[in-house]
Structure 1
Amino acid sequence: MSVLDFIYYAFIGVVCIQVIIYIILFGSFSFSKQKKQSVKKIAVSVIICAKNEAKNLKTLLPSIVTQEYSDFEIVLINDASNDRTLKVMETFKKKYDNIKIVDVKNVEAFWGNKKYALTLGIKASKNDYLLFTDADCKPVSKYWIKEMTAHFSNKKTIVLGYGAYSKIKNSLLNKLVRFETLVTAIQYFSFAKLGIPYMGVGRNLAYAKKEFFDANGFINHIQVRSGDDDLFINQVASKTNTAICYSKNSFTKSVPKTTFKDWFKQKRRHVSTAKHYRLMHKLLLGFIYTSTLLFWVLALILLPTLFNWVIVVALFLSRIIVQYLVYGFSARKLDEKDILWILPFLEVFLIFTQFVIFMNNLISKPNHWK
């Protein structure tokens, strides 16, 4: 058997694996329908941790205080900011009596650790259900709290939401940022649908306070400065206690990075937490990434050689069509349809970037919450 024969048969196997992943795993979310949930009359604490976010808070807070929900408080955590973050919080607190401020000072043992600040904010909250977002996010509708909390029940104590990024016209980087966000959302929604939830995003996440205290907060990964969202969910989420919410009124939208350097640094921090996931999740995510990488590497070797080109092209296009179908349904759910037309390019670029990030993180540790 020649080298090209070996690559050819390997390519057939990889394409089969990829099609199975897309149809069975990702299809569990892509082809699903969000069931309408009844509005829950539960008291909610909206938790927002901010560090040097005075400008963003002025945009965020009006969209929070005007939420159409009967019983909620807003817990604003000032994490040792050195700008006017605290002043902005105090200005809003004078106008709205459901705002509570937690002013966190730096403590040497937890210097620069967002989990310490969040812990103080959670302990200060008065309600049994918590809804989280970031200071550079804002809900896309006034029904955000209502939509997210509707998924709580006696069994469902964790709700995973979608945190989108704002669109910037004629920006390739923005499309890459939103594509990566879409792919990540498809993965964690799909895993949750199949009963193996592994992460959520702090831009849009809700859980019962009991989950936090039963797990002793962030103590199991307090030494990892990032991961207050994904590592915590990876620890406590299960088949029975986790729900997903992807109705369009439940989305939050964040300010995206506008330079590749800033986005790269952000992704380094996010990726650095993955090594602390449960072994099963690491193996599954690694398998998905490896099979995707092999698909493109083997295709780019075989296609120029024209080796059994009819079958190779047919296999290549079959996988691309299945991917477009699955991602198309997901993108429509998550309002990201405009990035589909350059999907193959974005995927190849993202695979390469993720590999570079992985290698960089092996060499040096990324920066964290400052």
Structure 2
Amino acid sequence: MSFLSRLYESLETAYGTPALALAAAAVVLFIVQLCYWMRCYARIPSYRVDGGQERDTQRPPVSVIVVVQDDFTYLEETLPLILGQQYPEFEVVVVDLASAEEFSDALQALQEQHPHLSATRIEQDTRFPIGRKLALNVGIKAARYERLLITTTAARPTSDRWLALMARGFERGDVVLGYCGMERKPGIVNRLIRCSRVMTSVRALSSAIRGVPYRGSIHNLGFTKTLYFGVKGFNYLNLNSGEDDLFLQTIATPDNTAVILNPKATVRQWQWGGASWWHDLRKFESYTYKYYPLQVKNAVQWELGSRLLFLATVLTALCLLPPEFKLGTLALWLLRLGIVEFESWRIRRRLGEGGLGWCWIVYDLWAPLCEIRLWLSRTLRPSKGLWR
């Protein structure tokens, strides 16, 4: 202790207390970031849903539920991919939300060709608009099987093994969380959007692996009818979102939740616009964040906050501190960047997200500022259509 005390006094005399405090802050923030990437997020590449246990040879029947409204593209392109899944026993329950007669006829024609396709039609009442929660509730009641997979018309499975791999999760528990990536398109905007989706999913999936499930994806989510009716269905019925997080938090526990991490179990969501579209979508989806448990909020805020503060500390040190401190903080920043790039590469490979290497560095610098803008926009200008 006397040696450390003398060392501190000599450094304080040479450089001053502010310089030492700034350098110490950089080290602490670096360690915080290291804990997230090498302890929390690093569990994703090595995670196995069965934990090395012997698999159940029985493959339980599954009901896939999707809400559709006048989407001919879905009938022509995506629904055949779901109907053609390689799985012994399943059904696809399509909830037709007051579509036009022509669409309903086309759906009826498909139903005649595929015995495992069933359609349930809901008539709209202009006085009492029907939201997705009520439509899904109708589909869940109509489903024949105990195990349910929820998806949407905005996403499509990437392989004919999607259903089989997601159904494996029911061998582990009653809640199954799958990954939903964004479709791949040319351009840096698409890459940044894909990076954003990966990072949002990494936080939620790694938390579920650690025993704190708080969010899934409405495009790739499974649970049982028993759990659903056990909590009397979806909560926050006056809110037009929350099926994959606020509802999930009422049914998911560390012991009943399985995470499926396989590129062939992925679904991909269509990208309908550019950066503004993505910002609006994220703002709408993130509104439920205010209702999250404090533990989850702290975990998310600490990662983003420590990343932003670390960058600010490094920039301040490069501007104000002596040359040796500048080199030290710059070395810390480059070391963190290398670790993040390596760990994110391992995660992206597990999720089947290729082609994001160099762009991840840009996203890593850009993301905290986007999160601040998202928070301000959500606070000052709430999304339209949030409440019924």
**Hey, what does 2:297 align to over in structure 1?**
282
Cross-structure match for 2:332: 315
List aligned pairs for 1:184-199, cutoff 5 A.
184-199=200-215
Indicate which of 153, 177, 195 corresponds to 2:193.
177
Letter in 2 for 1:157: D
- 1:60 maps onto 2:75 in alignment: no
Q: 1:204 Cα shift?
A: 1.0
Q: Deviations over 1:150-185 (max 9, x none)?
A: 1213x610111111221112x111111110111122
Unmatched runs of 5 consecutive residues or more in structure 2: 1-15
Once the two structures are TM-superposed, the CA of residue 266 in structure 1 deviates from its matched residue by: 0.6
Within the candidate set 201, 205, 215, 2:231 is matched to 215
- Whether the aligned pair in 1 keeps the contact of 2:149 and 2:222 (CA below 8 Å) is yes
Q: Is contact 1:226–1:368 with CA below 8 Å preserved after alignment?
A: no
Q: Is the contact made by 1:44 and 1:71 (CA closer than 8 Å) also made in structure 2?
A: yes
1:260 corresponds, among 266, 269, 275, to 275
2:49/2:258 contact within 8 Å kept: no
Partner-residue secondary structure (3-state), 2:232: coil
Amino acid at match of 1:161: G
> In 2, are the aligned partners of 1:56 and 1:135 still within 8 Å (CA)?
yes
Q: Identity, % of aligned pairs?
A: 23
Q: Is residue 2:217 matched to residue 1:232?
A: no
**Matched residues in 1 for 2:56 and 2:33: separation?**
37
Q: Please state whether the residue corresponding to 1:131 is helix, strand or coil.
A: strand
TM-score between both structures, scaled by the size of structure 1: 0.92
Could you say which residue in structure 1 is the equivalent of 2:183? 166
Contact residue 158 and residue 265 of structure 2 kept, 8 A? yes
One-letter identity of the residue aligned with 2:196: E
2:261 aligned residue: 246
C-alpha distance 368-95 of structure 1, shift in aligned 2 (>3 A): farther
**Aligned-CA RMSD value:** 2.3
Inter-partner Cα distance in structure 2 for 1:10 and 1:87? 65
CA distance in 1 between counterparts of 2:217 and 2:226 reads 19
Judge which range, 192-201 or 347-356, deviates more: 347-356
Q: Determine if the alignment matches structure 1 residue 206 to structure 2 residue 217.
A: no
For 1:46, the equivalent position in structure 2 comes to: 64
Shift in CA distance, 267/110, structure 1 to aligned 2, threshold 3 Å: farther
CA distance 1:164–1:84, change in 2 (3 Å):
farther
Query: Per-residue CA shift, 1:309-351, capped at 9, x if unaligned?
Result: 1210121122112211211110111121311212121122222
Q: Distance in 2 between matches of 1:202 and 1:238?
A: 18
Q: Tell me by how many angstroms 1:105 deviates.
A: 2.8
Highest Rg: 1 or 2?
2
User: Structure 1's 109 and 303: CA in aligned 2 closer, same or farther, altered over 3 A?
Assistant: farther
Under a length normalisation based on structure 2, what TM-score does the superposition of the two structures give? 0.88
2:168 equivalent to 1:156? no
> Paired residues, what number?
367
Any unmatched runs of 5+ in structure 1? none
Structure 1 residues 249 and 9: CA distance shift in structure 2, 3 A: same
